[in-house]
């Protein structure tokens, strides 16, 4: 069969092109078309391509006939730009705070112009942040299975800024400063508050990890299978991983009582809620038997 690949941009110098594909529309899969384009233009590897017909994206694993495409029809091609694997993106994002926090904590004279003794609150905050991002790095390498293989390279800088600046430089600088040092009124915390925040943090991080393992076990290796998640946390909300992460950062925010921690908490929770609502709607649209009583992110609320 013949298939015309038309450009989304009228200024394209490479397209349109016509591909000769073996088989009928019922036989030819989307990835076959992507491979044929990549063979002709190696810079447009499959992850860099977006193919659409009447604004509907073509998904790998489906045939052209699934989209009503016939011999001689055309599909629209868009170059998504250079791509990075999601695993690489996450490693870079979470790696920033892992470097920034100990750097500012252990080299105070470099950032504040003097040395001083850190308070218990500052030390506990450092341990919390480091454990959180070390856990995220571990999950990225050993736990997560990604439904989408790549993301545009340009998004790396935007995503990294959220972690490197807000939860990295800004949070570390204002929490580990001399105004919160040992012996200062701002740095003092009651034992009850410190241990309460530690308990909440541990509960939240272990619960968050459990939900990530649950999601991993839903998807066999090398597939993009999607199923309804069930069990601990998922009986309440569609995205308990976001809810438990909210509790973890709440512990950090309450412990430090820092405007920088409060700012990151608000921004992070707001962004997670947006993602949760989107995923919740996606689940309900995809699965007819999806539990109706579940909320998006906050149990019994929203």
pLDDT above 80: residue 269: yes
Q: pLDDT-derived band of residue 85, with 50, 70 and 90 as boundaries?
A: confident
Given this model, what pLDDT does residue 184 score? 96
For residue 76, what are its two tokens? Answer: 């629209």
> How big is the chain, counted in residues?
302
Given this model, what pLDDT does residue 162 score? 86
Pick the more confident residue, 259 or 84: 259
For residue 63, how many other CB atoms are within 10 A of its CB? 17
pLDDT above 90: residue 101: yes
Contact call for residues 4 and 18 (beta carbons, < 8 A) = yes
* Axis-axis angle for helices 86-106, 154-161 (nearest 10): 40
- What is the overall mean pLDDT for the chain? 93
pLDDT above 90: residue 86: no
Pick the more confident residue, 151 or 232: 232
Q: Provide CATH 3.10.20.90 ranges for the chain.
A: 2-80
DSSP E strand stretches across the chain: 2-7, 17-20, 49-53, 56-57, 74-79, 83-85, 150-152
| pLDDT tens track for 147-201 | 666 777 877 888 888 899 999 999 999 999 999 999 999 999 999 999 999 999 9
Q: pLDDT-derived band of residue 111, with 50, 70 and 90 as boundaries?
A: very high
Given this model, what pLDDT does residue 150 score? 77
Given this model, what pLDDT does residue 73 score? 92
For residue 226, what are its two tokens? Answer: 């999607």
Contact call for residues 131 and 85 (beta carbons, < 8 A) = no
Given this model, what pLDDT does residue 84 score? 86
Pick the more confident residue, 107 or 14: 107
Whole-angstrom distance, CA of residue 302 vs CA of residue 287: 19
Contact call for residues 167 and 268 (beta carbons, < 8 A) = yes
Whole-angstrom distance, CA of residue 16 vs CA of residue 34: 14
- What's the distance, Cα to Cα, between the start and end of the chain in Å? 50
Q: pLDDT-derived band of residue 266, with 50, 70 and 90 as boundaries?
A: very high
Average pLDDT over residues 26-55: 92
Provide the whole-model pTM. Answer: 0.82
Count CA atoms within 13 Å of residue 122 on its CB side: 26
Average pLDDT over residues 57-85: 90
Given this model, what pLDDT does residue 145 score? 77
Q: pLDDT-derived band of residue 212, with 50, 70 and 90 as boundaries?
A: very high
For residue 62, how many other CB atoms are within 10 A of its CB? 12
Fold of 2-80: Ubiquitin-like (UB roll) (3.10.20)
Given this model, what pLDDT does residue 154 score? 78
């Amino acid at each position: 069969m013949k298939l015309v690949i038309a450009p989304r941009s009228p200024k394209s110098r490479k397209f349109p092109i016509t591909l000769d594909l073996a088989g009928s529309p019922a036989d030819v899969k989307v990835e076959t078309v992507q491979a044929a384009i990549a063979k002709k233009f190696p810079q447009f590897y499959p992850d860099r391509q977006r193919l659409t017909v009447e604004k509907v994206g073509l998904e790998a694993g489906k045939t052209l006939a699934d989209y009503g495409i016939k011999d001689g029809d055309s599909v629209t091609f868009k170059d998504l730009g250079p791509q990075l694997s999601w695993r690489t993106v996450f490693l870079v994002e979470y790696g920033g705070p892992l470097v920034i926090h100990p750097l500012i904590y252990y080299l105070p004279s470099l950032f504040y112009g003097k040395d001083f003794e850190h308070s218990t609150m500052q030390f506990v905050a450092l341990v919390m942040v480091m454990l959180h991002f070390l856990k995220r790095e571990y999950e990225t390498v050993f736990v997560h299975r990604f439904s989408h293989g790549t993301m545009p390279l340009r998004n790396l800088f935007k995503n990294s800024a959220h972690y490197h600046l807000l939860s990295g430089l800004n949070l570390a600088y204002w929490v580990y400063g001399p105004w919160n040092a040992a012996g200062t009124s701002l740095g003092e915390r009651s034992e009850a508050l410190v241990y309460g925040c530690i308990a909440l943090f541990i509960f939240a991080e272990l619960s968050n990890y459990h939900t990530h393992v649950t999601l991993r076990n839903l998807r066999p290796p090398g597939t993009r299978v999607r199923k309804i998640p069930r069990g601990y946390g998922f009986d309440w909300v569609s995205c308990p991983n976001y809810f438990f992460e909210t509790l973890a950062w709440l512990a950090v925010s309450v412990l430090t009582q820092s405007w920088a921690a409060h700012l990151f908490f608000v921004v992070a929770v707001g962004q997670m809620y947006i993602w949760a609502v989107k995923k919740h709607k996606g689940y309900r649209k995809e699965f007819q038997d999806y539990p109706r009583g579940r909320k998006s992110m906050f149990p019994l609320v929203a």
